[in-house]
Amino acid sequence: MTDFPTANVNVVDHPLVAHKITLLRDAATKPAEFRSLCEEVTLLIAYEALRDLPTATRRVTTPVAETDAEELAGLAPAVVGILRAGLVMVDAILTLLPQARVGHLGMYRDPQTHEPVPYYDKLPSDIAEREVILVDPMLATGGSAVAALDHLAAEGATNVRLLSIVGCPEGVEAVQGAHPNASITVAAMDERLNEHAYIVPGLGDAGDRIYGTL
């Protein structure tokens, strides 16, 4: 299953994540619960994906003593969501990092070619100076993630982490081929794509399940 270099790929192995992924996979899970689960899984994998965010110390006075304490250094990160499905993950990241700036990249997969079709973009103007957290629940062919990473690179972003809920080898290989420096964190690494470029076993169409547009 892992024919790709694993150095930049983190598959979060945790019973809570596994349990929630199983609920997400279940076709009987309704949109409200599906959205909540996506947010919860995002919180859990973000904890791992953001482990190496730069920090600095500053002097603080507790009610008891003075101490040197750690805090996030530099400009707040930017979280960039690939629309539509990435929006639920943006909201989850904002609960962890309320100071984050938010970017949006709108694209949908053409049903015949499976290529991403861009329709919107709005990024923080100083994105080149920020750590970037790119979020999209599904890393299937990798076309959407690569298009987003291309756009971010063109805007000067250099430190980009991709967070997805479900990935597959094809998507990871596409991202690694185009953007070898981008780290990838997923909650599950599935087997393969089917003939419609859906992840197997996957969880179906994430956007449709999140927004009830099946």
Active site residues: 109, 113, 205, 208
Contact with ligand PRP (CB under 6 A): which of 103, 124, 137, 202?
Answer: 137
Contact with ligand URA (CB under 6 A): which of 12, 45, 80, 138?
Answer: 138
Residue (104 or 114) nearer to ligand PRP, CB:
114
The pattern of x and - marking residues 159 through 188 that bind ligand URA according to CB under 6 A reads: ------------------------------
CB 73 within 8 A of CB 126: no
Q: How far apart are CA 40 and CA 191, in angstroms?
A: 23
Residue 198, token pair as written in the block: 């859906």
136 lies in the site for ligand PRP, by CB under 6 A:
yes
206 lies in the site for ligand URA, by CB under 6 A:
yes
Q: How far apart are CA 50 and CA 39, in angstroms?
A: 16
DSSP letter, residue 65: -
Chain positions 185 to 204 lying near ligand URA, rule: CB under 6 A, are 198-199, 202
CB of 27 to ligand URA, least distance (A): 13
Contact with ligand PRP (CB under 6 A): which of 77, 81, 124, 142?
Answer: 142
CB 47 within 8 A of CB 60: no
Contacting residues for 60 by C-beta, under 8 A, at least 6 apart: 66, 67, 68, 69
Q: Which stretch binds ligand PRP (CB under 6 A): 50-58, 63-71, 151-159, 205-213?
A: 205-213
Chain residues that interact with ligand URA, rule: CB under 6 A:
138, 140, 198-199, 202, 205-207
